[in-house]
Amino acid sequence: MALKLAGKIKTLASTIIMSLRTFIKHLPSNSLLVRFSSLHSLSSLSAYPQHQNHPSKSQEQGQDPYALMREDPIQICSEIWVKSFSTPKSKPFSNLSGFLSRFDIWVLAYQRSVAHFTGSFPTPSAIHSQTLHHLLSLRNAVVKGQFQWNMKTELYIRSPLEKPITEFTSKTTMKKILGSSKPPFQDRVVQEVLLLILEPVFEPRFSSRSHGFRLGRNAHTVIRTIRSNFAGYLWYLRGDLSEVLEKVDKRLVMCCLESVVKDKRVLGLINSALGETANHGLMSDDARKLKKVIGKRKKKKGGDGRRKVLNPNEPKPDPYWLRTFYDFAPDEAAKVPNYGHCGILSPLLANVCLNELDHMMEENMVEFFRPSILDSIWKDSNSDGCHNPAWPEFVPSGGKEKTRKMDYIRYGGHFLIGIRGSREDAVKIREELIDFCSSKLRIKLDYSKVEIEHVSRGILFLDHIICHRVVYPTLRYTGTGGKTVSKKCVGTLLSVTASLPQCIRRFRRLELLKGDKDPEPLPCTAMLYSSQAHTNSQMNKFLETMADWYRYADNRKKVVGFCAYIIRSSLAKLYAARYKLKSRAKVYKIASRSLSHPLRGKGNNGASEYSDLLKLGLVDTIEGVQFSHMSLIPSCDYTPFPRVWIPEHEQILLEYIKLQDPKFFSELRKSIKTQGLSLPQNEISEIVWDFKILGAPRFDITSEKHPQG
């Protein structure tokens, strides 16, 4: 009897072991250990439900990842761009799941995610087959609705930087993993896929007056647009909507998305990502300072002074010059939204919400426009104007008899409105803005966030001051009888200058400067242990970037010269402390004004030693610090900027769509049959002849048929 019972127990145990082996075999290898560790140590702590229908290898045997990689993902994304730009803006997109299920897009999203974390973009052939199977499991989970955001206990795919778990996870380690604010790598892949699909859908529907977080548009396009279009405005409204970047209403985002996208699967993914409104990406200045102070204290207490050793695939940190330039970011560009688990999708969602404000302002601009016969600009329409975009526009002063006009531009969560009219008009527009933001965007704005400023005081936007400079030009023209008449008049020029006080504040934040009225440079202690060649190279890159940032400022030479003086003096103080030379004067005497000559400490005065080492290739060539003289600093860039401007990629898209239209070719064929082919040289000669015979006022360049001379 005992032997029979022992045999039954042995058979039952072998059956359990075989079923357990089958269960383990069908589980993904990357989530096996995490699953069992969570079951035996954190069954009561984990708040995440376990997936019952987790994709297994047996289910994926009929799906070969290499067989699904048939098309070029760039070509698929191009199809989405062409389709969205050729579709009428009022027509919604009802089916995006077809693009969501294409495995080629997921491979591209994985490549972009890996490039973000490792700094290298892997080719499809370099991706391991097991990784492709895991990526296919992630795609299937998203398509079937089984994917959940921020699931750290069940991972479909891991980052190349994450080490695989080779032992059971302890309770303390599991608590640390679940309590970490760092999102899983698979969330980033899903965000990339959604961004690749949704960005081309919304780009043609965005206003041309929105320049933040968009392709082909940046802070420079804002400054150039202001220089070209905002001349003649006396009153300005500067608004701050950064509250939208910090926290957004979930219902508002979904309402704006549903007006364009009708796909329930995509909307469900974004809706679940917005479930948690905690924002981990934004950080106030006080919190940033507190974090720096805490970091310094920890470093003083427990720091061992050793350098961090990077993993084989871990990307190198940003160089010093780039981190320094990031701290120079204007207040309008310092904040990047991060809603819940949306991650890199958050800036697009912020623009989707604020697009309602952009279109409302465009409608108000049309209603506000009231032309005047007595005015010399903006006589006929809201977009025309007698201006020269190659130079700040010469405009007459405003008054009751002048044209009433308004313009609007937005960068991220900040906008600027120029008004040609009375202050009462500006007050009325501000009230309409506050009511619209309260009712539509659910943002409560007070008067401190929407300020009314006169152009004579100067308006600060993107660390540039917009103001009018009064000039007294002498106009000379030929009067009756052929006499030359000289007449003095009064006018204004639009001036866009870089703010020197803001530049000083940025240097103070970097601890390279102290004082306001009489600023004093401080030594650049961050480069204390770097060589002279490396230090000069880093600062040259920083100065080149600063010169490019202030490219469109009228006082470009002045502000870049000031930055060069601060950097050069800071390095001179650093070298004086490093080589024990006591003063900057001695450093300049040995290393020259550009700090390009090698410096030596006391007792090492052999200049020939450095030249010998340089010939042998044992030392680097020391670059001189740039912009040591004002003549070396480039002047302001006054390149013409058209009033109706679109980025280059949109121009190419519109031309491509035009070429796909068969009506265009039929019209082109008819014009060739009727008019024949004409060379560009012939057209240019006709234009020159018309200007000589008929004069410029009678020549209409927009007409289809030119007058014959």
Q: What pLDDT is stored for residue 706 in this prediction?
A: 43
* pLDDT attached to residue 381: 58
On whether the CB atoms of residues 81 and 204 are closer than 8 A, the answer is no
> What pLDDT does 202 receive?
95
Residue 280: the pLDDT is 42
pLDDT on residue 196: 95
Instruction: Identify the weakest region by mean pLDDT among 133-147, 408-422, 587-601.
Output: 587-601
AA letter at 129: S
Q: 539: closest CA among 627, 632, 598?
A: 627
**Whether 303 contacts 296, CB under 8 Å:** no
Q: Is the pLDDT of residue 585 over 60?
A: yes
- Six-digit token string for 647: 């980025």
Q: How far apart are alpha carbons 323 and 300 in whole angstroms?
A: 22
The length of the chain is 709
d(CA 113, CA 186): 9
The enclosing H or E element of 398 equals none
Radius of gyration of the chain (CA): 32
Q: How far apart are CA 266 and CA 685, in angstroms?
A: 56
Give the distance, in angstroms, between the CA of residue 121 and the centroid of all CA atoms in the same chain: 20
pLDDT at 301 over 50: no
Tokens found for residue 263: 């796909």
Rounded to an integer, the average pLDDT of 249-258 is 93
The pLDDT of residue 380 is 57
Residue for token pair 């989405």:
80
Of 33-42, 372-381, 586-595, which has the strongest mean pLDDT? 586-595
Q: Averaged over 357-373, what is the pLDDT?
A: 91
Comparison of pLDDT for 502 and 25, the residue scoring more = 502
**Which residue has better confidence, 58 or 102?**
102
pLDDT at 696: 52
- C-alpha dihedral over 103, 105, 110, 112, to 10 degrees? 170
Do the beta carbons of residue 441 and residue 429 sit within 8 Å?
Answer: no
pLDDT confidence of residue 302? 46
- What are the percentages of helix, strand and coil residues in the chain, rounded to 5? 50, 10, 40
Residue with tokens 């589980």: 27
For residue 226, which of 466, 430, 505 has the smallest C-alpha distance? Answer: 466
- pLDDT at residue 207 in the model: 94
Confidence of residue 393 (pLDDT cuts 50, 70, 90): very low
The identity of residue 533, as a single letter, is: A
Contact 390, 203 (CB under 8 A): no
pLDDT band at 382 (very low <50, low <70, confident <90, very high): low
**Checking DSSP bridges between strand 474-478 and strand 464-471, what pairing results, if any?**
unpaired
pLDDT of 94 > 70? The answer is yes
Question: Could you tell me the two tokens for 89?
Answer: 């803006």
Give which of 330, 364, 361 is closest to 441, Cα–Cα: 361
In this predicted model, what pLDDT tens digit does every residue of 620-659 receive, in sequence order?
678 889 998 899 999 999 988 888 899 999 999 999 999 8
The 8-class DSSP code of residue 123 comes to -
Mean pLDDT (the chain, rounded): 80
Phi, psi for residue 450 in degrees, rounded to 5: -130, 90
Lowest mean pLDDT among 266-280, 347-361, 524-538: 266-280
The pLDDT of residue 586 is: 92
The β-bridge relationship of strands 235-240 and 491-498 is unpaired
pLDDT of the residue at 409: 96
What is the C-alpha to C-alpha distance for residues 54 and 46, in angstroms, rounded to an integer?
Answer: 18
Q: Where are the beta strands (DSSP E) in 396-539?
A: 405-411, 414-420, 450-454, 459-461, 464-471, 474-478, 484-488, 491-498, 513-514, 520-521
Express each pLDDT in 442-492 by its tens digit.
888 889 999 999 998 999 999 999 998 877 777 777 777 778 888 887 777
State how far the alpha carbon of 383 is from the alpha carbons of 434, 642, 704, in Å: 26, 11, 21
- d(CA 183, CA 186) in angstroms, rounded, equals 8
From the number of C-beta atoms within 10 Å of its C-beta (0-12, 13-18, 19+), residue 400 rates as: exposed
Cα separation, 74 vs 66, whole angstroms: 17
Instruction: State the pLDDT at residue 366.
Output: 92
Phi-psi region of 174 (alpha: psi -120 to 50; beta: other; left: phi over 0): alpha
Name the phi and psi angles at 418, rounded to 5.
Answer: -100, 135
The residue ranking higher by pLDDT, 479 or 280, is 479
Q: Under DSSP, is residue 127 helix (H, G, I), strand (E, B) or coil?
A: coil
Q: Inform me whether the pLDDT recorded for 85 exceeds 70.
A: yes
Q: Residue 179 in 3-state DSSP?
A: helix
CB of 695 within 8 A of CB of 686?
A: no
Predicted local distance difference test score (pLDDT) of residue 611: 63
User: Three-state SS for 34?
Assistant: helix
Tokens of 279: 């924002």
What are the pLDDT digits (tens) for 598-618?
Answer: 887 444 444 456 666 666 666
